[in-house]
Chain A
Amino acid sequence: MNRLVPFLSRYWAVLLLVVVWHAWVTLGDLNSIVLPAPLPVLADVVTHPALYLTNAAQTMATALAGVAIGVLLGAFVAILAWASRLLAGLLTPLGLIFSSVPIVALIPILARVLGYDISTVVAIVAVSAFFPTFVFTGAGLRDLPRATDDLFKVLGATPWGRLRHLVLPATVPNVMISLRLTVPEGVLAAILAEFLMGRSGLGFMFREAASRFAMERALGTSLVVTLAAVLFFTLAHRAERAVKARWS
């Protein structure tokens, strides 16, 4: 009882959704091809753990690899733009144009250029993570603690010493913000890419199941996708909070 009350107060909306879903299917007497009830969906997940786990693991690994590449590249290019006014003038408009192109529009182009395999999915996720990181890291590089710039000048810091001991550490919280923003985005981009052009992973699994009207399987995939996205967001959010506490 002591644990039940906080659980209910936190997740009542989710439970309500499941109850409404169940009521809608039962009262409307819907065919499972239109919409299956919650329990058969859950049963499909529980009875096929290996299938769901391997596909989920693949999607998560793809998303993580893509986010890692995108964040590292975004931070690196932000540092280049910070170091050189010429590069900043070159890269910033490009960044703005690319960040306003929807990822859905980029997927067919990238797939045609890079081929229809898993490395393309990684590339798509990396592109989705690149621009938010570029923008947030760029802002962090210019946001230094008060008077520290003067301090480093009086201490006789070289440009490299200033970058290493002041500018890079100062921007770590902003890199964590980009991570928190791009990780759920990366999971979404990975699934979308798998759905549109993949041959494996949760996105492909959903498309394959939906195309043969295996709605329990399709909705089971959605359920796993949702859980994974929530898990990743929670982890990224915690990491950001921990870094923020250490940095202030």
Chain B
Amino acid sequence: MPDIPQTECREAIALRAAGKAFALDDGGSVVALDGIDISIREGEFVAILGPSGCGKSTVLRLVAGLETATSGTVHIEGRAPAELAAHHRLGVAFQDHALLPWLSVSDNVALPFRVARKPVARDTIARLIALVGLSGFENARPSQLSGGMRQRASIARALALDPDVLLLDEPFGALDAVTRRHMNIELQRIWSARTLTTVLVTHSVEEALFLADRIIVMTGRPGRVLRDVAVPFARPRTPEALRTAQFHAMVDDLTRALEPQG
């Protein structure tokens, strides 16, 4: 192993006492997040796990700069998320693939270059399309692809500009269980090929355990951090890791943590 650079342990993403309240039409407000403290190191893969409505997507939207915190602070590399977005340093994949239907796969992957007004790196795009296993589909349009292939294309697009931070908001949430597991194995392989700070929002315990270095478990109404669990499995992880007793024990433990109290 080459010597690990000093930056390895630097903090990449920091939420300090971050809160988010949404104003309602009747003049009141609803608290979606309450005093969230999350610290993510550079190069770390963190999964945010929680039941639907616990505010986990709001955490990701704060980090993506799509929402601003109503209290506390959110920083990426010491700067405001919107600033990083403006410098095209964020990669994102949503549950809705958000591919542009009138563009081919390769033009969709090239979109971040065009939006950033940078010369389109054709070789990078070809490499990313190969990385997500879509070689041969460069000229296909999104409507001609399966749901899983569309998500692969959207992940390739998220990686196009070699971002500092990769944000994944339930990217496989709309897929069936078999495709989803397959996509998790693929994502694990992609992530092993290029380690970068990643935040994955998911409601699947298995997905979080298989992919992440650390899992932050959230509870809802208002959203709070319930547990912060380190994932002990060595990388690269193979599908066999999903079948070990330790894996099953952790699945049971985290599933219990997600169940409503009382």
Contacts and interface: CB of A to CB of B under 8 A. Distances in A.
Interface stretch (A56-64, A149-157, A196-204): A149-157
A154 B92 contact: yes
Interface in A8-39: none
Contact of B115 (A150, A165, A172, A248): A165
A247 B101 contact: yes
A147 B98 contact: yes
Interface stretch (B81-89, B227-235, B243-251): B81-89
Contacts of A170: 100, 102
A161 interface: yes
A85 interface: no
Given A153-B85, A154-B85, A156-B85, A172 B102 contact: yes
A148 interface: yes
Contact of B94 (A150, A165, A169): A150
A148 B85 CA distance: 15
A82 B33 CA distance: 34
Does more than half of chain A's interface fall in helix, strand or loop, or is it mixed?
helix
A246 interface: yes
Contact of A161 (B87, B98, B117): B117
Give the interface size bracket for B toward A: 20 to 34
A166 interface: yes
B140 to A, nearest CB: 13
A155 B96 contact: no
B102 A154 contact: no
A146 interface: yes
Contacts of A154: 64-66, 85, 90, 92, 167
Contacts of B88: 155-156
Contacts of A169: 100, 102
A146 B100 CA distance: 9
B124 to A, nearest CB: 16
B101 A153 contact: no
Contacts of B89: 156
Nearest to A173: B102
A199 to B, nearest CB: 45
Contacts of B86: 156
A245 B23 CA distance: 41
A154 B90 CA distance: 6
A169 B111 CA distance: 13
Nearest to B81: A154
A166 B100 contact: yes
A244 to B, nearest CB: 11
Interface of A: 145-148, 150-157, 161, 165-166, 169-170, 172, 246-248
Interface of B: 64-66, 85-90, 92, 94-102, 111-112, 114-117, 141, 143, 167
Given A147-B98, A170-B102, 13 more contacts: A147-B95, A147-B97, A150-B66, A154-B66, A156-B86, A156-B88, A156-B116, A161-B115, A165-B111, A165-B115, A169-B100, A172-B102, A247-B102
6 contacts: A148-B100, A153-B64, A155-B85, A155-B112, A161-B114, A170-B102
4 closest A-B pairs by CB: A147-B96, A147-B98, A146-B96, A154-B92
